[in-house]
Amino acid sequence: MSESAVQIIARGPRENAEAAAAAIDADPTLEGATYSILEEDEDRNIWRIDAFPTTAEEVEGLKATLADYPVTVTVEKLADADWLAMSLSGLPPVRAGRFFVYGAHDEGRVPPNAVNLKIDAGAAFGTGHHGTTVGCLEAFDDLLKRERFERVLDVGCGTGVLAIAAARTGSRIAVGTDIDAPSVRIANENAALNQAHASFVHASGLNDQRVRRHGPYDLVFANILAPPLVALSQDIKMALSLGGVAILSGLLRTQERRVTAAYTSRGFRLEKRIHHDAWSALVLRRMG
Ligand SMILES: C[S@@+](CC[C@H](N)C(=O)[O-])C[C@H]1O[C@@H](n2cnc3c(N)ncnc32)[C@H](O)[C@@H]1O
């Protein structure tokens, strides 16, 4: 994730928020900008837009568009610095269900009865040590006891660990995407390192042609922050086949209700929650 990633929040009465959202939709220069709109406080009629620009032009474009409407706009930096700090090499290997995630320094210690994933993190997130990654791998391991997933998409791939885990357990298509170009390069290197048939593309959101052409997917991983998980709920739904599964993480336990509501209101059923420390991973199935 880029160090300068920001979230733009606009609050106001429903009619103002909806008019501002319509203006974002109508602006061709903001076509790729991801945002969500939801009711924050029913009693006070406060609606809220959360926008997640991925370029400086989108930041300026969103600010300029929102300034034309009677809404209160704030810009917050997305907390990603801690995540990158987790990507240190030299960490011990991690076991999550059938998966064993290890670095180059543990080459000689891989167990014979696991799906071994050798992950070099470099500047990308995803050594397998973070509670969110472990939660996703455990959720996937559990699903694999009963189901097969032919087509898998990994939104916010980081090192590529999740899509590589899918490719190594029989998924025919394993595609990953990240807004961070160095992560995509590292993920492709890790795919080669693991002889995994997984490919990764640098893209913002799920509307990229290279992502869409392999869909609909049977399983979508998205280990990103809670606000983009909410903002991407419709795109993730459309990327999934009926009956397909979303494994979502990157959210705190305290954010579970908000993320779950965004998906259940779109026809998903919550099947499982996995907790590690303060972090949560959700398994949601598209029912409608
Ligand atoms: C917590 S890391 C997850 C990495 C890996 N999937 C894992 O589970 O270990 C989140 C990744 O999502 C990327 N990201 C954040 N928001 C995104 C978005 N809207 N679209 C695509 N990637 C995003 C970040 O650049 C970062 O690499």
Q: What percent of the chain has pLDDT over 90?
A: 63
Residues with CB under 6 A from ligand 1: 1, 52, 83, 125-126, 132-133, 136, 154-158, 161-162, 177-180, 183, 205, 223-224, 228, 250
Residue 94 lies in a domain: no
Query: How many A from CA of 65 to the centre of ligand 1?
Result: 27
Tokens of 94: 């991690």
Same domain, 24 and 139: no
pLDDT tens digits for range 270-285:
999 999 878 899 999 9
Residue 66 is predicted with a pLDDT of 96
Look at residue 125 and tell me whether its pLDDT is greater than 80. no
User: 178 alpha carbon to ligand 1 midpoint, in Å?
Assistant: 6
Residues sharing a CB contact under 8 Å with residue 188, sequence separation 6 or more, in sequence order: 160, 199, 200
Domain that holds residue 151: 131-286
ipTM for the whole predicted complex goes beyond 0.90: yes
Number of neighbouring beta carbons within 10 Å of residue 276: 17
CATH number, residue 195 = 3.40.50.150
- Summarised one tens digit per residue, pLDDT across range 237-256 is 999 999 999 999 999 888 99
Residue 88 within any structural domain of the chain: no
**Last residue of one domain, picked from the residues 63, 78, 93:** 78
- Is 156 annotated in a binding site? The answer is yes
pTM: 0.73
If one residue of 35, 54, 80, 224 were mutated to test the ligand 1 pocket, choosing by the most ligand atoms within 8 A of its CB, it would be: 224
Residues 166 and 273 in one domain: yes
Q: Where among 61, 78, 95 does a domain terminate?
A: 78
Number of domains comprising the chain: 2
pLDDT one-digit tens code per residue, 166-192: 999 999 999 999 999 999 999 999 999
Q: Looking at ligand 1, which atom is closest to the CA of residue 222?
A: 6
For residue 203, being part of any structural domain is answered with yes
Residues 174 and 41 occupy one common structural domain: no
Atom of ligand 1 nearest to the CA of 54: 19
Q: Is residue 96 part of a domain?
A: no
Q: In terms of domains, do 268 and 154 share one?
A: yes
**Residue 140 placed within a domain:** yes
Q: How far is the CA of 21 from the centre of ligand 1 (A)?
A: 25
Q: Which of 152, 178, 229, 248 is the pocket-test mutation for ligand 1 (most atoms within 8 Å of CB)? A: 178
* Per-residue confidence band for 32, with pLDDT thresholds at 50, 70 and 90: low
The per-residue pLDDT for 63 is 95
Are both 57 and 137 inside the same structural domain? Answer: no
Q: For residues 190 and 267, state if they share a domain.
A: yes
* Within a domain: 26: yes
pLDDT at 140: 97
Does residue 74 belong to any structural domain of this protein? Answer: yes
Residues 21 and 148 in one domain: no
Instruction: Write the CATH number for 55.
Output: 3.30.70.600
Burial 52-86 (b: 16+ CB within 10 A, else e): bbbeeebbebbeebbeebebebeeeebebeebbeb
